Structure 1
């Protein structure tokens, strides 16, 4: 089959439907840099007619000054393909059909068809966002408004599309395995659909408020900047930072859940200096605490170094302490007790928060579950489920005790 064959020959109907309906511009390019296919959004972005992009060299969509370098870059990617963002730390531009240059964001992924690499370029026209950024440049804090969100968004969408392609292309040809593989595929499809339904439900609720806050604050900053009202500008920048941090937390939860579901998390143990480790977490969390909240640490036995996975242990402790702060009022104390016992590192997080109703306690580690008294406290219902699964990976255990209206204590024990 020719690498320039129509899309119906390159992939199946299911993938074509996904490809055509994506909200980002996508072009697929062969090893020689020729565009095999482009989705409708890409055609709109570059202002080409339907199917007019097919057969063009990818370099024809770039300003003249970039074309020579891009040929070498393309050859390097074909030699060592991996999902990545283009131009990190630099501004990228592209050319419309009429020669107009405009700013873009591009991330790359790839697939293989009959042993040939097809590079997938995900393209977003960021002209409007660039205009908004220019209005915010006088404030040094605005640089973090979208960086974390963009990183997770690119990675999440690349993984989701790549996984879908793999599932569609990895049909087992051996007849004797067909029935078992079909059953597994159906099971996985059902689980993914359930996750998608839950995600849409949570995202529609949790994303709406912070996104509205970011939009309104960005507009107000423009007005206050023109009038030189620095105090109001700083206030709305803080609101934007808080909203982006919340969105990042939600995306991190779904990214962690996806990796756990796929079983791609490896355990990498090393010596951890516990006092230094806990102090770094304390410094990172204190700025997120409510006014007047305190974070106290008590060592009930001498602890210096332990042997564990610092990344996983950090995620566990960070999530539990964040929850303690989130579900506690202002001026309350969050206490972390640490001890070493029978070759186990044990820590307790004790808060004076709203507590967990008795009827809800048996469900606390279930995916997407939130206690009935969580009210308007932001959250996805994934945090404790992820914590439990991380602890299981380390071969540890977690337990808790809680009294409604008085607080909770979570106890974690991991072997070292």
Structure 2
């Protein structure tokens, strides 16, 4: 080993005691001197590295490229780390490779450039890094497996929750069906009770009238009192008409409740349709009551179910007649509004008290001022149900003691 390059004894001692391997190389790439650590790193005996080419300490695959790096450094020498950001590998005498870190510096000796390489074996650090990397990879794999398990368990939990939700929904549907069935049964029982109550009251009076009139007719016949006989015949007819209206209400409600009302729309010519209704209602009008009809020329026909519309208007006219005095007119008119046809039935009857109006379409409801006027309290409820079947809307205006107007709006087509 040529220690002439390290002239001072103290410097020589520092050179040899460094924990890093130090190699000094001339411009030709020949090793001039190396400390003991460097010789041990590369597996050489003391003084064995001196005179060896620097590239001999590199794996064969790096040597050609390193010559160019060395020349570039000689052309512009400055202290720096070698291979920053890359893994550097050195070659031992026995041919094994090991990872290193190298810092470069330079000095002038006898006016010649000498490059100093400070070399550290980082095998242990690399092993630790590799172990850490493997741990990280294992952790990533474990995390992925854990995430997969969590996903599977979450999916299983979601499926369980979905099944529970379906079971709960099914149970709620069953409870709702049971509630509806109970409500339906309650309504039917109420309907039966109401029917019995109304039948016992409403049927008794006209039937009694029929029975008494029949007996009196027999007496008047024997006496040949024909005028009185005709009077009681009219009373019988009126009573029979009343019973017929009551039965029609119950039959209509029964069909509506059972969903047995079929709707078949067809063109309805208003002039003929309203004339037929006006003729049909004559049988129950009070003396002096007249039904007038009016419709615009722009609306000659409407597309709807004629039987359902007839039942609606027949019922409204019947109510108008019952709750109006003899001689009071009843007006039936038709208007076109916003693509719909509006039928209006106007009377000059007793009107509807304000407090009763919100219940007017309830089943079995009768206004507080109905008094002795016969009725079941089903008519307007049935009218509302019929209007719903033909996509209609029903409303009314009423002034107590002055009369009422009912509006039934249905689609034009």
TM-score, normalization by structure 1: 0.55
2: CA distance between counterparts of 1:397 and 1:178?
A: 33
Offset from partner CA, 1:257-282 (integer Å, 9 cap, x none): 11111111110111111110000111
Query: Which segments of 5 or more consecutive residues in structure 2 lack a partner in the other structure?
Result: 1-172
2: CA distance between counterparts of 1:300 and 1:183?
A: 49
The counterpart of 1:271, out of the listed 254, 259, 267, is 267
Offset from partner CA, 1:362-408 (integer Å, 9 cap, x none): 00000000000010111110000000000000011011011101111
2: CA distance between counterparts of 1:179 and 1:317?
A: 40
2: CA distance between counterparts of 1:410 and 1:232?
A: 39
1: CA distance between counterparts of 2:402 and 2:389?
A: 31
Could you say what the CA RMSD is over the residues aligned between the two structures, in angstroms? Answer: 2.2
Do the aligned residues in 2 keep the contact of 1:400 with 1:409 (CA within 8 Å)?
yes
Q: 1:361 to 1:181 in 2, by over 3 A?
A: closer
2: CA distance between counterparts of 1:180 and 1:318?
A: 37
Do the aligned residues in 2 keep the contact of 1:355 with 1:406 (CA within 8 Å)?
yes
The counterpart of 1:407, out of the listed 403, 407, 411, is 403
Larger Rg: 2
1: CA distance between counterparts of 2:194 and 2:220?
A: 39
In the alignment, what sits opposite 1:327? Answer: 323
Do the aligned residues in 1 keep the contact of 2:241 with 2:284 (CA within 8 Å)?
no
2: CA distance between counterparts of 1:348 and 1:189?
A: 36
The counterpart of 2:281, out of the listed 269, 282, 285, is 285
The answer to whether residue 385 in structure 2 is matched with residue 393 in structure 1 is no
2: CA distance between counterparts of 1:257 and 1:220?
A: 36
1: CA distance between counterparts of 2:403 and 2:181?
A: 44
Offset from partner CA, 1:19-59 (integer Å, 9 cap, x none): xxxxxxxxxxxxxxxxxxxxxxxxxxxxxxxxxxxxxxxxx
Q: CA deviation at 1:179?
A: 8.2
Do the aligned residues in 1 keep the contact of 2:332 with 2:344 (CA within 8 Å)?
yes
In the alignment, what sits opposite 1:251? Answer: 247
In the alignment, what sits opposite 1:192? Answer: 188
Do the aligned residues in 2 keep the contact of 1:347 with 1:412 (CA within 8 Å)?
yes
Offset from partner CA, 1:111-160 (integer Å, 9 cap, x none): xxxxxxxxxxxxxxxxxxxxxxxxxxxxxxxxxxxxxxxxxxxxxxxxxx
In the alignment, what sits opposite 1:383? Answer: 379
The 5-angstrom pairing of residues 8-407 of structure 1 reads 185-407=181-403
1: CA distance between counterparts of 2:180 and 2:394?
A: 31
2: CA distance between counterparts of 1:259 and 1:216?
A: 34
2: CA distance between counterparts of 1:180 and 1:401?
A: 37
Query: Which segments of 5 or more consecutive residues in structure 1 lack a partner in the other structure?
Result: 1-176
Q: CA deviation at 1:304?
A: 1.6
User: Residue 345 of structure 2 aligns to a residue in which SS?
Assistant: strand
Offset from partner CA, 1:223-277 (integer Å, 9 cap, x none): 2223333222221111111101101111110111111111111101111111100
In the alignment, what sits opposite 2:118? Answer: none
Q: CA deviation at 1:316?
A: 0.3
TM-score, normalization by structure 2: 0.55
Out of 199-208 and 220-229, give the one that drifted further.
220-229
2: CA distance between counterparts of 1:191 and 1:301?
A: 45
2: CA distance between counterparts of 1:353 and 1:414?
A: 25
User: Residue 402 of structure 1 aligns to a residue in which SS?
Assistant: strand
In the alignment, what sits opposite 1:113? Answer: none
Q: CA deviation at 1:183?
A: 5.6
Offset from partner CA, 1:58-97 (integer Å, 9 cap, x none): xxxxxxxxxxxxxxxxxxxxxxxxxxxxxxxxxxxxxxxx
2: CA distance between counterparts of 1:302 and 1:327?
A: 32
Do the aligned residues in 2 keep the contact of 1:368 with 1:380 (CA within 8 Å)?
yes
